[in-house]
Structures are given as structure tokens and as C-alpha cells.
Amino acid sequence: MRTGIGKHIWSIAEGYIPGWSEPGAGHELVSHEALCILNTCETDAHVELMIFFSNRAPAGPYKVKVPAQRTEHLRLNDLRDPEVIPTGTDYSCVLTSDVPVVVQHTRLDSRSSSASLMSTIAYSE
């Protein structure tokens, strides 16, 4: 099995957690954004996130551990420490990891009567 795939630095320029959801949406279909982090290494990944805004200083670091050979689909709505990311607010994200990881970003937007999805590979270097 191939290990150690990916990069140490990733960035997602587009971040926006919609401020509401279709009435009656269950947890799966609540508007949210996810950062999907794959760690193929044989050691745990210690990941730090910084969140950038348009009109205030960055927030973070948020610390996340992704165990060896596991994936973490992190809901950005759920981050609490050091602070919640406000909904309805433009932001961007930078992720750094002590071992190589692969990162993809997805939004599910259920403000309309049918949920809509978007996703892209993050920028890496």
C-alpha cells in the first residue's frame, strides 16, 4: 500500500458557511463545509488550520489530529477552539501538517429547496 502521499501546506481560498438550511434538513443535509484530510502515512498527522477573514485578523490555530492511515472529514461548522467560524461570512483557510496529507474542500448548501454541492482539490505547495 502506497504511503506518504501529498503535501505539507494546503489552502482553500473560498470559504462560506451558508447562514441557514432548508426547513427540516437533518444533520446530513444541514448547510455546511467540510475539509477532507487523508493521511496515508504510518504516523499520525498533526494538522493546524488558520482562518482568514476580509475584515479582521486571522483566527487560529485550530489543531486536529488525523491518525495514521485514516481520513478525517472535518465539518468547519463544528470548530469551537479557539472560536466558532461565523456563518454567512467570507473566509479562507490555510492548513499545515507535519506529514504529507491530501486535502479537498466541499460545501453543501441547502438554503434552496434542493441541496447543492460544490467541491475542489485545495491548492498545495
Which residues here bind a second copy, judged by CB under 8 A? 1-2, 5-6, 9, 11-16, 18-19, 28-29, 34, 36-38, 40, 50, 52-55, 57-58, 60-61, 69-73, 88, 90-92, 94, 96, 101-107, 109-125
> What's the closest the beta carbon of residue 113 comes to a second copy, in angstroms?
5
Beta carbon nearer to a second copy, 58 or 82: 58
> What's the closest the beta carbon of residue 105 comes to a second copy, in angstroms?
8
Rounded Cα distance between 9 and 95, Å, is: 6
Tell me which residue of 105, 101, 103, 104 sits closest to 67, measured CA to CA.
101
Tell me which residue of 6, 16, 18 sits closest to 93, measured CA to CA.
16
Beta carbon nearer to a second copy, 80 or 88: 88
> What's the closest the beta carbon of residue 80 comes to a second copy, in angstroms?
19
Residues 6 or more apart whose CB falls under 8 angstroms from that of 7 comprise: 100, 101, 102, 124, 125
